[in-house]
Amino acid sequence: MSYLNTKANPVIFDIVLFLVRLFIGFAMISHGFPKLQDLINGVEKPFYDFIGLGPKISLILAVFAEFVCSIFIILGLFTRIAAGFLIFTMAVAAFVVHGADAFDKRELSLLYLSIYLIIISFGAGRFSIDGMIEKRRRANDW
């Protein structure tokens, strides 16, 4: 199984990271975009106030994480920082908002959480803006 070894095949590893970033980013945008539309249109929906700042601020923070940070994940820009915000958001969704619910209600947020943990662990990979910045930084350090 040497093809799974990231040192033996770094290009495949980076391609997989790129595809995971694209898929998970667009998938999360599909959750964040309706919240962004509600926020822009001033729709008053009950939203969970998870840190005591009020439901509107909580909605703004959720939109930032689910929409803006997902764009950063797709681009591979500030990837680990964006994944950190998304990890926090998914942890709140899984363990606070749906903490008393059955597993099937928490499952999606836990799946997102696990993928963001992988992204924060490995970074964006070579095919990202972060990768291009790192490559340029290494070229200037020699």
12-16, 49-53, 118-122 — most confident range:
118-122
Taking residues 74-78, what's their average pLDDT? 96
Taking residues 50-57, what's their average pLDDT? 81
Distance CA 82, CA 73 (A): 7
- Enter the tokens of residue 22: 């694209």
C-alpha angle 137/141/142, rounded to 5°? 130
Distance CA 5, CA 126 (A): 16
pLDDT at 50: 75
Count other Cβ atoms within 10 Å, centred on residue 65.
Answer: 24
Distance CA 79, CA 81 (A): 6
Non-local CB neighbours of 50 within 8 Å, separated by 6+ positions? 58, 92, 96, 97
pLDDT band at 28 (very low <50, low <70, confident <90, very high): very high
Positive or negative torsion for Cα 36, 41, 44, 45: negative
pLDDT at 47: 80
Length of the chain in terms of residues written: 142
Q: How large a percentage of the chain has pLDDT more than 90?
A: 59
Under a CB-based contact definition with an 8 Å cutoff, are residues 21 and 128 in contact? yes
Distance CA 11, CA 26 (A): 23
pLDDT at 4: 54
pLDDT band at 3 (very low <50, low <70, confident <90, very high): low
pLDDT band at 5 (very low <50, low <70, confident <90, very high): low
pLDDT band at 2 (very low <50, low <70, confident <90, very high): low
